[in-house]
């Protein structure tokens, strides 16, 4: 089967399993699948040095993986065979690489310097981007400095971001992660259509001093429009219609719908079709980030991402952080048959990082049709999950250490603590290092015996080890380093999508549920009965009878 509408592919479309390197990897896998990493380290004293990438303030050690130099070579060959270099070029040059939606993918332009060249449709998009950036900066300064006032003449104290998915997760994660750099404004996020969410947030607000930022690329999203309307109704109980212009701003590509909602034209921050929702925090979608930490910090976040873009674009694959992490992940996903990957930041500030990456990674690479329109018979997107250490050690680490599943994990740590509690920091980092060491080495039977364990308990205390981890050690959590880290994962997503021969930038899989929910909602409010399976029909009438 082929897709007639996407004949002129700008991305290569090579089934990875047909490549020479894939076949080599299949063969090679037989020789590495039972090798213990302990032995690889024992054989090569230089292993850690060879398998570490030092770049800027990043120290990325990928030596604790079940790979040899030959594995790595084969993986690099795979990247070449699927024409990754060409694909990177296509993305950065504004080609319509999101073929299924007919869109370019230019989030990298959002963090590029003003004199950069990102051509889309024959036009450089940079001037437009900088116009919006200036608007974000001016607006941020007015609000943060208290020059912009609410309808009773008071300065703003609270900001509410109303959005969902990419219009919520990115800003919410970054505002939480950069709370050390925050100003006096309190930032709230309303996303779920669950009315209890919006009501709990409303409880904390004073309409006189709250600014509402409605964020929706399409401005058609049920959750966001419902929450925005509920908030507007609540606001109008204490203010008049003309106060809306002072308190409501919107970020969207759909200017018509924003105006119809009642937002003043001057309060609209445009975005573009070529920014995917889950890659949009760099655009005006990041307005609440800018408001929370100030424009300068927002700009540093963007500059960090831009540095990672340059690294990704220019660095040779063997020392290219996103490429190397993506290739290793492909090895586990497609050869070791690992189903999930854990993200473990040793920083409470990154509490929402795994949740944020879940959308980025799973919405992008959860696909089962290739770029030729054919069903796929190999594994694609991994399941992403995680929580900060050390909390996660006391929650799910048991399963990673001694369970039956192979769960490769990224350990992310920062050398410096922001508040400078050296005692806590030393304890935190000792755990950070100890866990990857324990996962690598495990504990042998003789070690358990040496500890004086009674005979019958010995098997339960043995750890096999050989559990893979990447260590991403960064000097300090700052807006710039966070920008680099997020961009690193964005590029990892892209590389994996290229290798798996899928379109990473659409998300048709979320549509069906939305369509059915609309139909079911109509049934709540009328006597119409659509055709349902008996389970759904029973549940529906159960709900109707009790509500």
Q: Which residues bind ligand F6P (CB under 6 A)?
A: 164-167, 216-218, 221, 224, 277-278, 363, 507, 510
Q: What's the rounded Cα separation, in Å, for the pair 434 and 338?
A: 23
Residue placing its CB nearer to ligand F6P in the complex, 98 or 333: 98
Q: Any idea of the CA torsion for 6, 8, 11, 17, to the nearest 10 degrees? A: 70
Residue placing its CB nearer to ligand F6P in the complex, 232 or 401: 232
- What's the min distance (Å) between Cβ of 285 and ligand F6P? 8
Sheet holding 340-345, edge to edge: 52-55, 58-61, 469-474, 409-414, 340-345, 383-385
36 in catalytic set: no
Backbone angles phi, psi at 56, to 5 degrees: 50, -125
- What's the min distance (Å) between Cβ of 15 and ligand F6P? 27
- What's the min distance (Å) between Cβ of 482 and ligand F6P? 20
170 Cβ contact partners less than 8 Å away, ≥ 6 residues apart:
278, 280, 281, 285, 286, 356, 486
427 in catalytic set: no
Q: Please tell me what DSSP assigns to residue 98.
A: B
Question: Nearest to ligand F6P by Cβ — which residue?
Answer: 277
Strand partners, 166: none
Residue placing its CB nearer to ligand F6P in the complex, 90 or 167: 167
Please pick, among 424, 514, 519, 544, the residue that the annotation labels catalytic: 514
Please pick, among 394, 405, 424, 445, the residue that the annotation labels catalytic: 394
- What's the min distance (Å) between Cβ of 284 and ligand F6P? 12
Residue placing its CB nearer to ligand F6P in the complex, 284 or 302: 284
- Cβ–Cβ < 8 Å for 501, 370: yes
- What's the min distance (Å) between Cβ of 365 and ligand F6P? 13
- What's the min distance (Å) between Cβ of 277 and ligand F6P? 3
Q: Please tell me what DSSP assigns to residue 471.
A: E
Residue placing its CB nearer to ligand F6P in the complex, 171 or 207: 171
Strand partners, 281: none
54 in catalytic set: no
Residue placing its CB nearer to ligand F6P in the complex, 347 or 507: 507
Q: What's the rounded Cα separation, in Å, for the pair 294 and 126?
A: 22
316-321 long-range Cβ contacts below 8 angstroms, 24+ apart: 317/76, 317/79, 317/80, 317/84, 318/72, 318/76, 319/53, 319/55, 321/53, 321/55, 321/58, 321/60, 321/488
State the catalytic residues: 363, 394, 514
């Amino acid at each position: 089967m082929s897709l007639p509408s996407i004949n002129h592919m700008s991305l290569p479309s090579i089934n990875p399993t047909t490549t020479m390197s894939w076949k080599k990897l299949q063969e090679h896998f037989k020789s590495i699948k039972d090798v213990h990493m302990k032995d690889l380290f024992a054989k090569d004293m230089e292993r850690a040095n060879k398998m570490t990438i030092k770049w800027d303030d990043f120290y990325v050690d990928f030596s604790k993986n079940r790979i040899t130099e030959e594995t790595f070579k084969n993986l690099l060959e795979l990247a070449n065979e699927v024409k990754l270099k060409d694909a990177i070029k296509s993305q950065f040059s504004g080609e319509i690489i999101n073929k299924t939606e007919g869109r370019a993918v230019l989030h990298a332009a959002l963090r590029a310097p003003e004199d950069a060249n990102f051509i889309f449709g024959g036009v450089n998009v940079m001037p437009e981007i900088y116009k919006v950036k200036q608007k974000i900066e001016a607006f941020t300064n007015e609000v943060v400095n208290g020059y912009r006032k609410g309808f009773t003449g008071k300065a703003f104290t609270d900001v509410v971001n109303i959005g969902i998915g990419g219009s919520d997760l990115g800003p919410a994660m970054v505002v939480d992660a950069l709370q050390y750099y925050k100003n006096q404004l309190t930032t709230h996020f309303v996303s779920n259509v669950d009315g209890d969410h919006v009501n709990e947030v409303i409880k904390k607000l004073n309409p006189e001093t709250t600014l509402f930022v409605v964020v929706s690329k399409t401005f058609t999203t049920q959750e966001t429009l419902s929450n925005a309307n509920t908030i507007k109704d609540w606001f109008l109980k204490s203010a008049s219609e003309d106060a809306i212009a002072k308190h409501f701003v919107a970020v969207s590509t759909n200017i018509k719908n924003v105006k119809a909602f009642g937002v003043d034209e001057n309060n609209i921050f445009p975005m573009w079709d070529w920014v995917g929702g889950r890659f949009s925090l760099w655009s005006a979608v990041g307005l609440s980030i800018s408001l929370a930490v100030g424009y300068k910090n927002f700009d540093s976040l963007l500059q960090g991402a831009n540095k990672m873009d340059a690294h990704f674009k220019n660095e040779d694959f063997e020392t290219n952080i996103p490429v190397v992490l993506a290739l290793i992940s492909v090895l586990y996903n497609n050869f070791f048959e690992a189903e999930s990957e854990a993200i473990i930041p040793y920083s409470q500030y990154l509490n929402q990082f795994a949740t944020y990456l879940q959308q980025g990674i799973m919405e992008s690479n959860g696909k089962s049709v290739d770029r030729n329109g054919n069903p796929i018979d190999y594994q694609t997107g991994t399941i992403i999950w995680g929580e900060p250490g050390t909390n996660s050690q006391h929650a799910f680490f048991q399963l990673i250490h001694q369970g039956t599943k192979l769960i490769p994990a990224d350990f992310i740590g920062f050398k410096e603590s922001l508040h400078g509690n050296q005692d806590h920091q030393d304890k935190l980092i000792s755990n950070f290092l100890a866990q990857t060491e324990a996962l690598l080495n495990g504990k042998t039977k003789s070690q358990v015996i040496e500890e004086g364990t009674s005979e019958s308990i010995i098997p339960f205390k043995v750890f096999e080890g050989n559990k893979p981890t990447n260590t991403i050690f960064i000097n300090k959590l700052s807006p710039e380093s966070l920008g680099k880290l997020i961009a690193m994962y964005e590029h990892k997503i892209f590389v994996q999508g290229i290798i798996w021969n899928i379109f990473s930038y659409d998300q048709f899989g979320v549509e069906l549920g939305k369509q059915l929910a609309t139909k079911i909602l109509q049934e709540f409010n009328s006597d119409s009965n659509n055709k349902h399976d008996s389970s759904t029909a029973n549940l529906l009438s159960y709900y109707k009878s009790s509500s």
